[in-house]
């Protein structure tokens, strides 16, 4: 059996129009018979972002492609962990 760690970054749209960073830690198990199983190990809520195509931030800038295929430039409003 082979075990692989996987980290995914997602952005959730909040009711106030800002985006909440969500960091997902998965563990992927690959069995000798070819089965692959993926389990969520940890979920961390990170920085808060807003969509902005003109300004910059010392806390971070991310160009993220969302699940619907749209690419947005997100600017971090804070560098501290939420929740």
Residue 39's closest CA among 60, 24, 54, 17?
Answer: 24
What ranges in 3-82 are assigned the alpha helix state H? Answer: none
Please, are residues 61 and 49 in contact by the beta-carbon 8 Å criterion? no
> Is residue 79 over pLDDT 80?
no
What is the C-alpha to C-alpha distance for residues 66 and 15, in angstroms, rounded to an integer?
A: 17
This prediction has a pTM of 0.76
Question: Chain-wide mean pLDDT for the chain?
Answer: 89
Ramachandran area for residue 2 (φ above 0: left; ψ -120 to 50: alpha; else beta):
beta
The predicted model gives 22-33 an average pLDDT of: 96
The predicted model gives 50-69 an average pLDDT of: 85
Which residues, listed in sequence order, are joined to residue 82 by a DSSP beta bridge? none
- % residues pLDDT > 70 (the chain): 94
Tokens of 15: 């009711």
The predicted model gives 38-66 an average pLDDT of: 88
The predicted model gives 46-65 an average pLDDT of: 86
Q: What is the pLDDT of residue 52?
A: 87
């Amino acid at each position: 059996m082979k075990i692989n760690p996987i980290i995914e970054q997602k952005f959730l749209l909040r009711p106030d129009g800002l985006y909440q960073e969500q960091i997902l830690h998965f563990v992927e198990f690959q069995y000798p018979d070819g089965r692959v199983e993926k389990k969520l190990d940890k979920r961390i809520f990170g920085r808060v972002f807003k969509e902005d195509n003109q300004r910059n931030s010392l806390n971070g800038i991310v160009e993220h492609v969302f699940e619907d295929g749209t690419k947005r430039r997100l600017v971090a409003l804070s560098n501290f962990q939420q929740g």
